[in-house]
Each structure stands twice: as structure tokens, then as C-alpha cells.
Structure 1
Amino acid sequence: MIKVLITGANGFIGKNLIERLHREKDLIIKKYNSRDDLSLLHEHLSDSDVIYHLAGVNRPLDNQEFIKTNIGLTEEIINYLKKINRKPKIIFSSSIQAEYENPYGASKNAAEEILKKYSVESGQEVYIYRLPNVFGKWCKPNYNSVVATFCHNISHDIDISIHDANKKLELIYIDDVVESFTDCLYRENKEEQYYCPLTQTFTIKLGELVKRLYEIRDMRKTLIIPNLSDKLTKFLYATYLSYLDHSNFSYELPTYKDERGSLFELIKSHQMGQIFISKSGKGVMRGNHYHNTKVEKFCVLKGEANIKFRKIDCDEIITYFVTDKKIEVVDIPPGYTHSIENLSDEEMIVLFWANEIFDSTKSDTFYLNVQI
């Protein structure tokens, strides 16, 4: 059983790390926060095998807080470990700011030096992560993360402003951080190497970041899903949704009605096309058109139907009977005029997928009856 102490357990990284570690076997997780009494810290230090030292401040009202917390708490941990002759593995959450001469960076650098000295004296492993801007769920907005602030404000219709759209940001996603931290539980450092490489980071200009977040927000109107094959966009999308107000998880879709029934679009994608759903009354027939390049898929979710095809240069009619009793997908190849007719006595619901977003100026849709 590995006993793990996490300082700064209530913080952004701490909460996400605890969630991840709960999925590991044979761990006992102990928590400490900077406002807790030092006696609790000492109690946890007395039998911890691994310490994740995440506690720290980066936006105090007084710069002395940098010294008190970032340096002072680190000294307190090391001095007590020496006193009780305890040598746990330590994983430290530092910052790329440690490379710069500002009060926050200087305090992180000083904490790093304390830990490295402890490693030399004790022979115990110390892992230091100099993290760039970390983003993801549960990060506090209007504090120290521009992504958190922008996601919160944009999702709550609060105006944002940027002073330099070309400023570059280096970002790292919270799940990548906690996975790397978790790996450290079982890693053995055979070399005198303190600084750990980061699995993946992302560089983006501030203006581009804002553009992507507004595109994500506007998806509710455009229905266009962002390119989720791009990892940064995928992570930004997940992060943005985590900042939605509890009363704002759902949104209404426009529904188009005529004598046949109704239709509404669900999702659109420049990479994957679009999904839409129709409701059709008894005896209603849709389609009687063909496409030259566009392809589609039909899936009857409720009811039963005949889907008919005819290659546009021949007379043979092909019929597929489909029903909600056996869910299946019917491919619609190009060059075949096709139709779908509701055979049930009640409303029929059909899900459609097309490989491109509908454009009325070049729809690649040409009307031709299946029946000659």
C-alpha cells in the first residue's frame, strides 16, 4: 500500500490529480492545504511514501506571500523530513516562470533548489515539473489562467479584451499533467536528473485562442463542431463546456416543418459532414433525387419504411425494407436516385448523415423520380 500526500489538494491541479489517483490500486491519499494547521502536515509527513508538492501561490496581495508559501512551506516539509529521518519521493509542481527574475519565478526557483539539495543529501528521488500555462476543468477563472478566464467569460456572455493578439502562449492540458504525475509513482530515477520532460505542450497566439473559443461558443448557432482531430481544439472544447452555467447545458434546435412532417439539423462538421433527423407522417415519401458526389446514410429510429433506389441510367428499382425492430444503416451511393417512404401507421423518425454540409448554391442534389 503506497501512502501519498498531496499538498494543495484543493487546488486546480490537486483536484484533478486526486481524481486520477483514485483509479489506481493500493493507494492511500492524504490531503494538505496551506490553510491547514502544520500539525496535520507533520502527521501526514511521518508515514508518506510519496509527496506531490502542489501547494503554492502565484497572485498574492503581498509579494511576501511568495516567500512564506512557495519557499517557506517547502522548507517546512524538508526540515521536518530531516528531523524524523523520513525519505519519501517528492514530485514538485514548479513553473516555467522559475527561469525568469520575477518574484513568483524567483520563489519557485528557490523551492526547486531546496528540493535538489534535499535529494543530494538524502539520496532520495525528486521530480520537478516546470509547467507552462495549465488549462482544463476546475481551473479558477479570473485568477492565473487565461484559458479559464476566457472560457468562463465567453460562456457567460461577458466581454473579453486582449492587448496583443500576436502574443504566444505555451499551454499544457491538465490530463497530460496528471498522467505524467501518476507515472512518477512507479518511476525510478537512476540518474541525477531532476527536471521532467512534459508529454506534450501547445503553442498558440492569443488572438487565435480567442477565435477558437468563440467558434466553440457559436456552435450552438452554426451547429458546426470544431475540428476535434486537432488535440488542442479537442481539449479547449472540453474545457469550455466545463464552464457552462448549470442552467445552460441545453439549447434548442430550429425545426423546419411542412406537409410531410418536420426536420431539424443536429451536428455539422467541415471534416465529417452533417447529421439531421426527420419526422414523417403516415404514407409520406421523401427524396426522389440523386447526388453525383455527395453520399448519405439513412437509419430508421422509429417506424418502418421502404428505401428505393434506381441507378439513373437504368430502369431497375431496388427496394430495402427497414424497421426499428432491426436497427440498420443503409448507404446511399452517388448516381442512384432514391426515396424513403413511411409504411407505418404512426410517425416515422429517421436519422440521416451526409458527408458534406448542405450548401444551396452547390447542393449536388438533382430531383428525379425513382418510379418511372
Structure 2
Amino acid sequence: MKILITGAKGFIGKNLIAELKNRKYNDIFEYDKETDLVLLGKYCKEADFVFHLAGENRPKDNSEFMKGNFEFTSTLLENLKKYKNTCPVMISSSIQAELDNLYGKSKKAGENLLFDYSKETGAKVLVYRFPNVFGKWCRPNYNSVVATFCHNISHDLPIQVNDSDVVMKLVYIDDVINELIKALEGKENKVNEFCEVEIVHTITLGEVVDLIYSFKRSRDSLSVPNMGNSFTKKLYSTYLSYLPEDKFSYELKTNVDQRGSFTEFIKIPERGQVSVNISKPGIIKGNHWHHTKNEKFLVVSGKGVIRFRKLDSTKVLEYFVSGDKMEVVDIPTGYTHNIENLGDTDMVTIMWANETFDPERPDTYYWEV
């Protein structure tokens, strides 16, 4: 299948092309502002499907709204008619087509062109009125407040919020792309005369800002956002894509003594915390027990033994562990336990606890195994 994509270098275009190639759609005609107009005719002659994503969002001159959103659409359709190509055509419109502003009027005009084209030629047309689209590769300080805020906050730049209570409707780029590929395969989500992305997130601007700032703070608190919330998960992925290129990494606080070191890595209020423990050769760590706190130990380098003893028993259990065998050992409540490095190199253990450490209630009691 030969697929023509206008606006190929734009936000949606780049994401669509990447995923089409992931799905082995490799015969793609990419058309953008810099493409020779002569090629448009060739592409329109051969295309089996058209994604018309090109358009003007924020031109230098208001007259360019109609030029980019109406005149080019007209040129595209004339080329298809010239070669009697009645392949399906999808157009990227906007919910602003319902509004009385220059951008909305130009989008509405483009929609009408497509509907008239369908009546004239019998071609299948798919008109998508997208709300605000967010995700990776969107230009900040252009037409997406989410992109702008993610970029500015991650770069320690100021943002301007005129009304934090304004309600926004947002669609995530991956959901948009999945819908467009469904349309390509004849399974579009059509509601009356328009097509829609099924998953739309409704949230206030203030809530978006608060979330993005919490992402920035999470490096200091070692917290991870609530990935059970689909919008938070998508927004966090978007935020990370705007990190400064020299700020992908961040340091952790390591507690070091003669026995080795202990470093907290991730803290999640609902899921506990993950830490990295390094023990020097011959060192024993632990010798304590818990009422409710439980842990999982995974030795990833070196070798050692984890010992357990129930408080009312003299029986000692031993679990020998090694980085040569990826094996998780549960640390049950009510058992005092320790871990000893039996090797001649540092032993590295990944430790998970079911709760983040609370110095006011550590639930950790010394008792030798």
C-alpha cells in the first residue's frame, strides 16, 4: 500500500511515519513545505491512502491561515481528481472549526472542501476534529501548551498561566496514531459525519501544571508518578522527552561506611521503595526483624548467604545467593535476618521494601540471627 502523508515533518506526521514503519508500512510518500510541488502530482497519482496533516497553526500573517488550511487542501484534491484517484483521504482538522476565529474558519473551510470532494467523486473522506494533541516531538512555544510547559519547566524557564481553572480536552499522540492506523485499515471511529480519537482526557490547566512540576520535583524525592492513571503516565512520558540533553541523569545520595554502601533509588508511596545495597567481602548486614514491613532481595553481583531465624526458634535457615543466578528471596515478617558477603569482591543486592522508610516508624528491630 502506497501512503501519502502531507505535513510529514510536523508533530503528528513524524509520529505517524515512525509507527507506520514499525508496522512494516514502508511505501510512504512524505510531503512537506520544502518538497517540490511537482512531486505532489506523482504522489497523488499513485497513493492508495492520503493522510492530509499539513496546515497552518500559528502563521506570521493571518492571511496564511486560509493559504495553509484551505488553498493547499484544494491543491491536493485537484491533483487527486486530475489522476482520477478516489483513494480514501483523511484530514487533520480541529475542534476550533466550530469557533468564529480565523484559524477555526480556515479549518472549517478545509473540511467543507473535503466533504464536497467526496460528494463529487465518491471518495471516502475521514475528517478528524482533534482537540489539543500532546506527546513527544511537539514544538514548544508554538501551538501546544503542554509542550511549552514541559519544555519550560524542565529547562527552569518561567511559564504563564492566565486561568488555571480553564478546562482542557487533550488527546495523546500514541492514541491519535493508533486511531489513524485503524482508519488506514478501514476501522476508523466515526461519530456521525466526523471521526474521533476514542480516548480524550479532560483536565484543568492548573492540574496539568501541578503534575508537570511534581515530575520535576520527583528527582529529589525519588518518587515515581502514579502510573495507574493513564493521563499521568502519558504526561510523564511527554515531560521526559523535553528534558535538556545534558540533564538526562541525576545523582543519588549514597550512604557509605566501612561495610559498603546503601543507596535509595525509587520511592512510591503505594508500592514501597527500591534500593541498592553493596556489601564488602566478609561483611554481614541486617540482624533485624519487622512486624509489617517486608522486603525482596536480589543479588545481581557477587555471592553470599541470607539467613533467617524465627524469633521463638533456634533454627537458622540459609539461602545461598549469587549474581550468577537471578533469584529473588522474600524476607517474611517475624523472622530476624541478615545477609553476608561470602565472596572476595563486592556483593551488589537490589532491595525492595513494601513501604518507604519512615524514621518516625521504621518497624525495624535489632535481633541477631
Which residue is equivalent to 2:151? 152
Q: Distance in 2 between matches of 1:173 and 1:188?
A: 19
**Contact 1:216 1:226 survives alignment (8 Å):** yes
Q: Which string of whole-angstrom CA distances, capped at 9 and with x for unpartnered residues, describes residues 276-310 of structure 1?
A: 01111122111111111111001111222121111
**Contact 2:40 2:79 survives alignment (8 Å):** no
**Contact 1:116 1:194 survives alignment (8 Å):** no
**Contact 1:223 1:267 survives alignment (8 Å):** yes
Which letter does structure 2 place at the counterpart of 1:298? Answer: F
**Contact 1:289 1:367 survives alignment (8 Å):** yes
Which residue is equivalent to 1:40? 39
**Contact 2:290 2:333 survives alignment (8 Å):** yes
Shift of 1:199: 2.0
Change in CA separation of 1:59 and 1:192 when aligned onto 2, cut-off 3 Å = closer
**Contact 2:44 2:83 survives alignment (8 Å):** no
Shift of 1:193: 4.8
Which residue is equivalent to 1:233? 232
Which letter does structure 1 place at the counterpart of 2:115? Answer: K
Q: Distance in 2 between matches of 1:90 and 1:77?
A: 10
**Larger mean Cα displacement after TM superposition, 213-222 or 129-138:** 213-222
Which residue is equivalent to 1:349? 348
Corresponding position: 1:80 with 2:68: no
Which residue is equivalent to 1:223? 222
Corresponding position: 1:242 with 2:238: no
**Contact 1:126 1:194 survives alignment (8 Å):** no
Corresponding position: 1:120 with 2:108: no
Using the size of structure 2 for normalisation, the TM-score is 0.96
Which residue is equivalent to 2:279? 280
Corresponding position: 1:175 with 2:174: yes
Alignment of 1:333-344 (within 5 A): 333-344=332-343
Q: Secondary structure at the match of 1:240?
A: helix
**Larger mean Cα displacement after TM superposition, 311-320 or 43-52:** 311-320
Q: Which string of whole-angstrom CA distances, capped at 9 and with x for unpartnered residues, describes residues 62-108 of structure 1?
A: 21111111010111112222233221210111111111111111111
Aligned length: 369
**Contact 1:3 1:47 survives alignment (8 Å):** yes
Q: Distance in 2 between matches of 1:193 and 1:112?
A: 14
**Larger mean Cα displacement after TM superposition, 311-320 or 87-96:** 311-320
Using the size of structure 1 for normalisation, the TM-score is 0.95
Structure 1 stretches of 5 or more lacking a match?
Answer: none
**Contact 1:156 1:244 survives alignment (8 Å):** yes
Which residue is equivalent to 2:130? 131
Which letter does structure 2 place at the counterpart of 1:60? Answer: P
Which residue is equivalent to 2:95? 96
Q: Distance in 2 between matches of 1:153 and 1:125?
A: 41
Q: Secondary structure at the match of 1:340?
A: strand
Corresponding position: 1:268 with 2:267: yes
Q: Distance in 2 between matches of 1:320 and 1:26?
A: 52
Which letter does structure 2 place at the counterpart of 1:171? Answer: L
Q: Distance in 2 between matches of 1:35 and 1:137?
A: 23
Q: Which string of whole-angstrom CA distances, capped at 9 and with x for unpartnered residues, describes residues 3-62 of structure 1?
A: 111100010000000001112345410011134342221221111111100000111122
Which letter does structure 2 place at the counterpart of 1:168? Answer: V
Q: Distance in 1 between matches of 2:160 and 2:364?
A: 44
Q: Secondary structure at the match of 1:362?
A: coil
What percentage of residue pairs aligned between the two structures are identical?
49
Q: Secondary structure at the match of 1:88?
A: coil
Q: Distance in 2 between matches of 1:192 and 1:43?
A: 33
Q: Distance in 1 between matches of 2:191 and 2:250?
A: 54
Change in CA separation of 1:269 and 1:188 when aligned onto 2, cut-off 3 Å = closer
Q: Secondary structure at the match of 2:46?
A: coil
Structure 2 stretches of 5 or more lacking a match?
Answer: none
